[in-house]
Amino acid sequence: MKDTFCRLGWVITMINAIEILREKYAHQIAHLIFIGAVIFSNLAIESQATHQALPHAERTRQLMKDGVHTFATSSLTNFSKQTFVLEQCIRLIERLAITNQYRMLLMGRGAVRQMRYIYNTMQHQGLLELCERVMYVFDKENNQ
């Protein structure tokens, strides 16, 4: 089902629809951004029988090609006051960054900069822990 969703172009269709709605309704679509981030995050992983979530390379490649990384980083900027949106977009970035080859692209799109800003300005413990975990992944890559 997940492979079919990606293969048929539903990811880019969702992103385009959300962007059109974002232009018209700005701050009224936070819940739609949240749902999109949850769906895209779920597409990036493959659950094993051991209940361990592993990255799915082909679907992650398709998500990146369709611009999910831009969706996630721009949502961090545009919905900086909605904690539930921030949490899911950070989680999405984390799942995209699991695959080493996309970390530099995510950094170039401002993902780390946005997470550092959120980390330094927000007081929500869950957000702080997510930011720390994801920034560790990016910092680990830079120190190698």
Q: How many domains does the chain have?
A: 1
Please state, in angstroms and rounded to a whole number, the distance separating the CA atoms of residues 48 and 90: 23
Q: What is the pLDDT of residue 50?
A: 60
Residue range 122-133, pLDDT digits in tens: 889 999 999 999
Query: What is the distance between the alpha carbons of residues 86 and 72, in angstroms, rounded to a whole number?
Result: 9
Integer Cα distance of 141 and 131 in angstroms: 16
Closest CA relative to residue 72, chosen from 81, 10, 135, 63: 63
CATH number at residue 139: 1.25.10.10
Q: Which domain holds residue 115?
A: 2-143
Given a contact cutoff of 8 angstroms between Cβ atoms, the answer to whether 79 and 30 are in contact is yes
Distance separating alpha carbons of residues 21 and 108, to the nearest angstrom? 26
CA pair distance 43, 6, nearest whole angstrom: 8
Neighbours of 9 (CB within 10 A): 12
The pLDDT value given to residue 138: 82
pLDDT score at 48: 64
* Maximum pairwise Cα distance, the chain: 44
- Please state the pTM of the whole predicted model: 0.88
The low-confidence residues of the chain, meaning pLDDT below 50, are none
